[in-house]
A and B are shown apart, each in its own frame.
Chain A
Amino acid sequence: MLEIKNLHAQVGDKAILKGVNLTIRDGEIHALMGTNGAGKSTLSNVIVGNPSYEVTEGSIIFNGQDLLSMSPEERAHAGVFMSFQAPIEIPGVSMTNFMRAAVNARREAMGKEPLKSTDFLKIMREKRKLVEIDQKLMNRSVNEGFSGGERKRNEIFQMAMLEPTFCILDETDSGLDVDALRIVAEGFNKLRTTETSAIVITHYQRLLDYIRPDFVHVLIDGHIVKTGTAELAQKIEEKGFDWIKEELA
């Protein structure tokens, strides 16, 4: 599904990613762990095409397409979705209008007719239930006045609406209490199909108890330095990253 080769990226003049290689097949969940500033968020932003990040070398192939030559919206239409670490507020744009624009843009890219208003609202209602998000939030502006937990739930709700095939969950667990974490993680699991793949970025084992990773990667200083199974995450939870750094030295 996704093949990243020798990826180098920078923000301004600062090199962050220094040759990342990663292959993700259909249906796989890859956890990405690492110290602060190691490049986890840079990697996810590069995958979704954030213009603030510059790719200097390497390639990303997504289902046979050269992802780096595509605009952020084209990538979204191809099925790439990111749950943002800090979802922003968009004052004056209602959730409903925002979602309608997003859903219909994707449908248009797929050569489908825009959804009828009644059908759209019906789908909104169904998907809202998945993440237990209140209808009154839908009448507000995007994320405006949402609590931290509501914002994260809203990200998964958007994922439900857009039905992506590849998701990046960028610290979706941060700022969530235990119950909210369960709702968000279970929501994600319900939405998954056998084809859905994901990169799950987290600092904690807890999220991975709900969303079981097939692989765990450790990113340090712009390189993936270690890859293992779910047990690696547990070991990091217990011992931190120092032992990995020592191994490298």
Chain B
Amino acid sequence: MKSEQQYIELYHEASSVIKERSCPVMNVVRDEAFEAFRQVGFPSKKVERYKYTDVDAAFAPNYGISLSPLTVKPSAYIYNMKDAPIDVTPYYHQVADCSDAITALNTALVHDALLVYVPKNTRVADLIVVDNWLRGTAATMMNRRILVVMEQGSEATLIINDHAADKQRFLVTQVMEVYCHDNARLDLYEIEETTPLCSRFSNVYIREGRDCSVKHNSITLFNGQTRNLCDVYLQGENSEVTLNGCAIGSGHQRIDNNTLIRHEVPNCQSNELYKYVVDDQSVGAFAGKILVEKDAQKTVSQETNANLCASPDGRMYTQPMLEIYADDVKCAHGSTVGVMDETALFYMRQRGIPEAEARTLLKNAFMGQVIDQIKNESLRQRLYVKVEKRFRGELDKCEDCRLCK
């Protein structure tokens, strides 16, 4: 039996309960999404965008699905979808794509959703922080849905932290849809700090109008298996998107990031920088495609993926891609996979710095380049500390998380 069978059965058993606990806007697309999932099934490694992650194996274990209600601490701009202050029909499940099995399954099974809504011309000075705590006494599957609506001229910084509060097996699917209306600015950070027992499948879809600026930072500090997809649709002129990634693997961790930036209109700019350090037997994968459509003249795009294999058994797969149908564009892409600089190591050891410490300093320096780009000062400083702790092996629990103390 392939793994999807148990989810098909689960849907038959639980869909009425899910619908009961959910809201109309989510229910209206549910059956259709399930049907899409049933037809497409989990992707095999022959499917291009899933070739580095064994989805079937990740979903095979018997997880109990969590249907407990989403608790949203009352705060400005964050809502339970049920209490949405706006009509979300034009947004919910519009950019998310059900030809992707994870998105389809998430849409079928998710009962609660989070809405981040920033009204027109509102500039949010404080950070909007969402903390996800994985809790459970048995192996648990969580399906998470986030909708971000940035109205015209709005500006915000949104941080989404993933923690695992219990030493338990967790399987998380996440679909996040981000809509930026004209002249909106969003800095979005996703920071994963879970445990080797956690599997995460996250699909993020971002749609930008005119004169928008979106920065998405995907930071995998500690995890088990992670597969992040991020698709960006540039649909209005003079917009820009930055996708940055920091992925740190050790032990048997796996980190797979798959991105697509689709330039649909002229005069947009995209920047992408993903860096990986893979230590021990960990495996990293990066596949990033920049697609420039026929009319998207004057596109400027730069894609970089730099990787450090810090151990002989660390593995890195990298696949930068450019697909260009316009003729007046400036696009570059590059990828490097390297090992520790032995000359630098020796220089440091000659000065008395012990080898392990020298290696930590070099890994930290390598990753620093991504963290340097974080605009928010306090977050940047916090991440320097976290990344360094991670390389020192001191980040084995989520230190900020009250539940873990």
A-side residues, CB < 8 A to B, are: 48-52, 71-73, 75-77, 81-82, 84, 87-88, 90-93, 97-98, 101-102, 105-106, 109, 141-142, 158, 162
In the complex, are the beta carbons of A92 and B364 less than 8 A apart?
yes
* Chain B residues, Cβ within 8 Å of A73: 349-350, 352-355
Nearest-neighbor residue (CB-CB) of B343 within chain A: A88
Most chain B CB within a 10 A radius of its CB, from A50, A77, A90: A90
B362 located at the interface, meaning its Cβ lies under 8 Å from any Cβ of chain A in the complex: yes
Q: How far is the CA of A95 from the CA of B248 in the complex (A)?
A: 25
* Chain B residues, Cβ within 8 Å of A77: 352
A232: shortest Cβ distance to chain B, in Å?
29
Q: Name the segment of B50-58, B90-98, B365-373 touching the other chain.
A: B365-373
Nearest-neighbor residue (CB-CB) of B367 within chain A: A92
B-side residues, CB < 8 A to A, are: 341-344, 346-355, 357, 361-362, 364-366, 368-369
Given A73-B354, A88-B343, A98–B349 Cβ distance below 8 Å?
no
Nearest-neighbor residue (CB-CB) of A77 within chain B: B352
Given A93-B365, A97-B361, A141-B365, A76–B346 Cβ distance below 8 Å?
no
* Chain B residues, Cβ within 8 Å of A91: 365
Q: How far is the CA of A73 from the CA of B362 in the complex (A)?
A: 16
A189: shortest Cβ distance to chain B, in Å?
22
In the complex, are the beta carbons of A48 and B350 less than 8 A apart?
yes
CB < 8 Å neighbour of B350 from A76, A97, A101, A141:
A76
* Chain A residues, Cβ within 8 Å of B347: 84, 87-88, 90, 142
* Chain B residues, Cβ within 8 Å of A75: 350
A11: shortest Cβ distance to chain B, in Å?
14
CB < 8 Å neighbour of A90 from B342, B352, B362, B369:
B362
In the complex, are the beta carbons of B361 and A105 less than 8 A apart?
no
Which 6 A-B pairs rank lowest in CB-CB distance, beginning with the nearest? A92-B365, A76-B352, A72-B349, A102-B351, A106-B352, A105-B352
* Chain B residues, Cβ within 8 Å of A90: 341, 344, 347-348, 362, 365
In the complex, are the beta carbons of B346 and A98 less than 8 A apart?
no
* Chain B residues, Cβ within 8 Å of A162: 351-352
Can you list 23 A-B contacts with CB-CB less than 8 angstroms, sorted by A residue number?
A49-B349, A49-B350, A72-B346, A72-B349, A73-B349, A76-B349, A76-B350, A77-B352, A87-B347, A88-B343, A90-B341, A90-B344, A90-B362, A91-B365, A92-B365, A92-B366, A92-B369, A93-B365, A101-B361, A105-B353, A106-B352, A109-B352, A162-B352
Query: Can you name 19 extra interface pairs (CB under 8 A) apart from A76-B351, A81-B350?
Result: A51-B346, A52-B342, A72-B349, A73-B354, A76-B350, A76-B352, A84-B350, A88-B343, A90-B344, A90-B362, A91-B365, A92-B362, A98-B348, A98-B361, A101-B353, A102-B352, A141-B365, A158-B351, A162-B352
Q: How far is the CA of A76 from the CA of B346 in the complex (A)?
A: 11
In the complex, are the beta carbons of A105 and B357 less than 8 A apart?
yes
Q: How far is the CA of A72 from the CA of B358 in the complex (A)?
A: 12
Q: How far is the CA of A75 from the CA of B369 in the complex (A)?
A: 32
In the complex, are the beta carbons of A93 and B350 less than 8 A apart?
no
* Chain A residues, Cβ within 8 Å of B364: 92-93
A172: shortest Cβ distance to chain B, in Å?
15
Q: How far is the CA of A84 from the CA of B348 in the complex (A)?
A: 12
* Chain A residues, Cβ within 8 Å of B349: 49, 71-73, 76
Given A92-B366, A92-B368, A92-B369, A72–B361 Cβ distance below 8 Å?
no
Nearest-neighbor residue (CB-CB) of A94 within chain B: B365
A70: shortest Cβ distance to chain B, in Å?
11
Nearest-neighbor residue (CB-CB) of A75 within chain B: B350
B259: shortest Cβ distance to chain A, in Å?
24
Q: How far is the CA of A41 from the CA of B312 in the complex (A)?
A: 30
Q: How far is the CA of A93 from the CA of B350 in the complex (A)?
A: 16
Q: How far is the CA of A171 from the CA of B366 in the complex (A)?
A: 30
* Chain B residues, Cβ within 8 Å of A48: 350
Given A84-B347, A88-B344, A71–B355 Cβ distance below 8 Å?
yes
* Chain A residues, Cβ within 8 Å of B346: 50-52, 72
* Chain B residues, Cβ within 8 Å of A76: 349-352
Most chain A CB within a 10 A radius of its CB, from B350, B357, B366: B350
Q: How far is the CA of A48 from the CA of B361 in the complex (A)?
A: 21
In the complex, are the beta carbons of A98 and B343 less than 8 A apart?
no
* Chain B residues, Cβ within 8 Å of A49: 349-350
* Chain A residues, Cβ within 8 Å of B365: 90-93, 141
Q: How far is the CA of A245 from the CA of B352 in the complex (A)?
A: 39
B271: shortest Cβ distance to chain A, in Å?
19
